[in-house]
Amino acid sequence: MTLIPTPRRATCAACLRAQPACICRWVTPVRFDAALLILQHPLEVANAKNSARLLHLSVPGSVLAVGEAFDTAQLDALLHADGRIPVLLYPAAPGEASTPVLPPAARLRLVVLDGTWRKSRKMLYLNPALQCLPRLALRDMPASGYRIRKAHAPDQLSTLEASAHALGQVEGDMARVVPLFDAFEGFVEQQAAFVPRLKSLP
């Protein structure tokens, strides 16, 4: 008996998704003075609903690194590359100011943890260097448009939404991040098309 291997689906080299689910048409490059570092939990990489890849492709010069417990030297290099000052997008720690004094955007590196709250807490626990960073917490955010993924609270945003709000804040120009929200809306509509029951949701 001859076994015929099942052909693999063609994959987009940019977004790493199967060609029918390619999200590259939503990519609209937006440049910022601040640098962006996305630390992605390994279990999020293959999640079709994940927005981190779209965010990475939409912000030229951004870095996306996958891992849970990073090598200390590698993480230090990622955080402090080019002499920038890393600030973690995360709720403030007990006793810490929720609005730290931030450096100018041209010297700042926004560090984003991509994963569920449970996964991001574990990443924080396993990487002491992240625990030492000043934190930028988002407050009074509008409702999320992330209807393709269940949130545990109404104010929980996707990685792209949270990062866009933070970048607009540190740049002092929310108008600059509008293309990111437009791209995210298109991405959500595309993903919803694969799940019929989502089409009827408002």
Compute the distance between CA of residue 105 and CA of residue 82 in angstroms, rounded to an integer: 13
> Can you tell me whether residue 31 is helix, strand or coil?
coil
Reported confidence tier of residue 18, pLDDT bands at 50, 70, 90: confident
Q: Predicted confidence band at 95 (pLDDT cuts at 50, 70, 90)? A: low
pLDDT tens per residue across span 139-197: 776 555 455 455 545 557 889 999 999 999 999 999 999 999 999 898 888 887 766 54
Q: Considering only CA atoms, which of 198, 200, 184, 202 is closest in space to residue 148?
A: 198
CATH topology of domain 25-137+154-185: Alpha/beta knot (3.40.1280)
Span 45-79, pLDDT tens digits: 988 788 999 999 999 999 999 999 999 999 999 99
> Which residue in the block uniquely carries the two structure tokens 């929720």?
98
Work out the percent of the chain whose per-residue pLDDT is above 70: 81
The DSSP call for residue 136 is E
Q: Which long-range contacts (CB under 8 A, 24 or more apart) does 71-79 make?
A: 72/129, 75/127, 75/129, 75/130, 76/129, 78/37, 78/39, 79/37, 79/109, 79/111, 79/129, 79/133
Q: What torsion do the CA atoms of 65, 67, 69, 71 make, to the nearest 10 degrees? A: -50
Report domain extents, the chain.
25-137+154-185
66 CB-near residues (< 8 Å, 6+ apart): 40, 41, 42, 45
Q: The tokens of 6 are what? A: 């099942």
